[in-house]
Amino acid sequence: MTDATDAGLQEHLLSAADARLRRVVAVVDALPARGDADALIAPLRPRLARLRPPRPLTLTRLLFAPVEPLIVPSASWQIGSPGIPRSALAALGGDLCAALGEAADPLRARCAGRSMEDEAVVAECGAPLWAEAAKLLPGRLPPADWTSATGLPPAAHRALVVPLGVLLGEGVPLHKLPTLAGQTALAEAERLLRQAGARGGAALTMMLALLLRRLPRAQRLLQLADGIGEAGGAGQASDRVMAFLLGDLRGAVASDAALPEAADQVRRSARLLEELEAAAGAAERPSRMQMVRAARQDLSAMCRDRMAAAAESLAVAAEMAAEAADLAAMEDTARALRLLDAVGRRLGEAEVYDRVLSGTAGRLTAGTLLAPNARLRLAEILLGPDAALALVEGGP
Amino acid sequence: MSQSAAQVVAGRAQGWQPMTFRERGVAVPFTTPHLAGARLRLIGRIGPELVLPEVVGPGSVGILPWERVGTLCSPTLFDRRLGARLAALPALTPATVRAAVCAEAASGLAGTEAAQAAATARQQDAADLHRARAGLPNGGPEPLAGLFGPLGLGPDAETARVPRTLAAMTALAEALADPPRTGGLATEAELVAAAARRAAAAARGALLAARTLAAEPAALLRRWIAAPEALADDLARVEWLLDGWAWLCRLWTCPDERLGRPAATLPEMAALVPPLPREVGAGAGVPPRHDMADTLRGVLRGGDWRSGVTPQDMIARNERLLAGALTLAGAAP
């Protein structure tokens, strides 16, 4: 495929309806080797996360299930980063299956026809696979086609398999971690961090990044990682993880995500920022504080832009609405705007949000296409009951 | 809310047990998060009062004159209009409140789903009335048919609103006895299930007595002529016993995904269980109260941005609950 064809196809997919996109993903999933097709759907991943199409349970998917939050686009990965480049997944998975030989056949048969949503099979087949991977992966050499297949240098192989082996050795508890309640989860996370710390700086960094993606309790975990890292000569682990997480914040808020998902992603990012800020302050690390401030400004600007664009879309939609379904969708948009408002004003420039909300509500109530009570409801969602009433009655 | 805003009428050691149903008040499906689960009562000459569960603290009940609701929160426009309509009523009963809610929801101020539910509820009520007329001798006096309508008479009696509510409560109690569905919240699940069983058993007894009365037309008419108000009170008892349970049934079957079931749903349900008043008899007992965590109370009011649930989201959820409670659609687990 040429670059021009790729670009055209991607553009076509970006505007495709949800059902069509699900069918395209099913076709890509069924390919024996995904290759270019993977790159084709890369920009659609945030939307796919929302659509949650069924993902067939393959041994490669199963292998990386406990560390899935660490998977990043290959272009943004470099040696020393705690992420796992997406292009390495198939190569590492294929190499492990080759090393397992016939031992992989029963697992492959058990997974056939299942999906990643089949939790019981994932847990049943994952436990032996992760244990074998922990033993085999660190001793593997790069496959002959490593660089051509992944686009990564040979040194990247060792940088990945050594810490991955440590993390997959804890595959079962890592997989269960999201199901544990607050304090129990934190205690388990601390245990996992200590275990990884005893196995070297790369494992500590990767484990810390994974745990922070799973649990928004950065302060305690970063403090612990600082202590473990300094005692073991790996004092940079927390800095690397913070750079990884902060650098990824803006990317996490995908431009093509629907507004409710985007607002929720901004919320998660803001929550993580708050935790990281508190952790940096408590550790008295000015360099970390500086990193957090820069990320906050970046996220704040993105949030304001998204707010303004979504509010404009809402006002335009209200000028064309005719059906009850349109009204329900507009109300959902208005509620998502309020979440963006609640989070965004914490990041800075609260007056911008006031201005956007009151301006949009003003345009909505001035329209005539929607019924008076429908306009009143939209204004109420955006501004609250008192301001909505004042707006409609022409009060202050 | 500050303690000065509402009068606290119960300590935290045990639940509040009103003397009568009228003292307990009628459950009103307000959509404002601060008013979710509130009741409204009209006793004495001081105007309607809100009876607020869990607003001051665990195990407490707050009493606040409706006219001072603004000191507690800024009610939604729907709640303001509904409150004004209810405040103008001469008596607050489950039937008069239901009629007012249907009338106000039809305006669309509680959303399209609630407006459609109000229309459906009116159709269901009309069908119940039609069947009751057919079940009474010569159609019975019109007010009597109105009282028997929700109870159900004749061959299709079980399709009426009260039997459907009882079926939903039975299904709820059964669902709550299934540990995999209640997670680790066995205490809350048992509290709600026991209260549902108790209220349903009392309501079944009252329903049987009412239907027995309808089966003896001469005695029924004699009582109606001699003391119509006393008979109306007796027939309305079933609805008082079930008051508030349609909301709880719907809360269990259609929870907000982001709040999580059962983690947030069961503590909320446990805090909203309607206490049976002493007038029900010895079986009512003092209701145990559930200590709701302050953090959860904050989330349920949409006051914690970290949860991703805003006050507007909670209002939308309460509007869906209102719609479901009006028609009992999807109320059976």
Average pLDDT across each block of 10 residues of chain B; the chain has 333 residues. List them in order.
Answer: 53 68 95 92 88 70 90 95 96 95 96 95 94 83 89 91 96 88 81 93 95 90 91 94 95 75 78 88 63 73 80 93 86 56
Question: Residue B4 has what pLDDT?
Answer: 45
Residue A377 touches chain B, beta carbons under 8 Å:
yes
For a pLDDT cut of 90, what percent of chain A falls above it?
42
The nearest CA of chain B is from the CA of A242 a distance in Å of 20
Question: Residue B2 has what pLDDT?
Answer: 44
Strand partners, B49: B41, B65
B79's tokens: 């709640």
Mean residue pLDDT of chain A comes to 84
Question: Residue A35 has what pLDDT?
Answer: 63
Question: Residue A326 has what pLDDT?
Answer: 80
Q: Which domain holds residue B20?
A: 7-327
State whether A201 and A147 are in the same domain: yes
State whether A41 and A66 are in the same domain: no
Give residue-wise pLDDT tens across range A279-305: 887 777 788 888 888 889 989 998 999
State whether A35 and A118 are in the same domain: no
In A6-135, the DSSP E strands lie at 71-72, 84-85
Q: Mean of the pLDDT values across residues A64-82?
A: 90
Query: DSSP 3-state helix, strand, coil percentages of chain A (rounded to 5)?
Result: 80, 0, 20
Question: Residue A251 has what pLDDT?
Answer: 66
- The Cα A310–Cα A313 span in angstroms is 5
In a domain, A340, yes or no: no
Determine the residue of chain B that is closest to A270 in CA distance: B306
In a domain, B333, yes or no: no
State whether A116 and A158 are in the same domain: yes
Question: Residue A253 has what pLDDT?
Answer: 66
Residue A255's contacts (CB-CB under 8 Å, 6 or more residues apart) are none
State whether A22 and A116 are in the same domain: no
Q: What is the count of structural domains for chain A? A: 2
Record: contact B112-A324, CB cut-off 8 A: yes
State whether A10 and A128 are in the same domain: no
In a domain, B332, yes or no: no
Which of B109, B112, B313 is closest, CB to CB, to A335?
Answer: B313
Check whether A360 has a pLDDT greater than 50.
yes
Report the 10 Å Cβ neighbour count for A330.
22
Q: Which of A183, A345, A353, A381 should we substitute to test contact with B (largest number of B Cβ atoms within 10 Å)? A: A381
Q: Which of residues 111-170 of B touch A (CB under 8 A)?
A: 111-112
Question: Residue A140 has what pLDDT?
Answer: 94
State whether A78 and A167 are in the same domain: yes
Question: Residue A225 has what pLDDT?
Answer: 86
In a domain, B91, yes or no: yes
Q: Which domain holds residue A10?
A: 1-53
In a domain, A325, yes or no: no
Question: Residue A376 has what pLDDT?
Answer: 93
A94-103, A326-335, B293-302: lowest mean pLDDT where? B293-302
In a domain, B300, yes or no: yes
In a domain, A79, yes or no: yes
pLDDT band at A254 (very low <50, low <70, confident <90, very high): low
Task: Identify whether B262 is preceded by a cis peptide bond (ω within 30 of 0).
Answer: yes
pLDDT band at A2 (very low <50, low <70, confident <90, very high): very low
State whether A48 and A74 are in the same domain: no
In a domain, A117, yes or no: yes
The nearest CA of chain B is from the CA of A233 a distance in Å of 35
Strand partners, B258: none
Q: What is the count of structural domains for chain B? A: 1
State whether A21 and A90 are in the same domain: no
User: Is the distance from CB of A101 to CB of A83 less than 8 angstroms?
Assistant: no
Q: Mean of the pLDDT values across residues A87-112?
A: 92
In a domain, A303, yes or no: no
Question: Residue B285 has what pLDDT?
Answer: 62
Question: Residue B244 has what pLDDT?
Answer: 95
State whether A213 and A83 are in the same domain: yes
Name residue, tokens 């509620």: A335
In a domain, B72, yes or no: yes
Question: Residue A141 has what pLDDT?
Answer: 94
Question: Residue A218 has what pLDDT?
Answer: 73
Check whether A14 has a pLDDT greater than 80.
no
State whether A175 and A38 are in the same domain: no
Check whether A3 has a pLDDT greater than 60.
no
In a domain, B295, yes or no: yes
Check whether A39 has a pLDDT greater than 90.
no
Determine the residue of chain B that is closest to A324 in CA distance: B112
State whether A141 and A16 are in the same domain: no
Check whether A396 has a pLDDT greater than 50.
no
Calculate the CA dihedral of residues B22, B24, B27, B33 and round it to 10 degrees: 140
Please classify residue B274 by burial: count the beta carbons closer than 10 Å to its beta carbon, then call 0-12 exposed, 13-18 middle and 19+ buried: buried
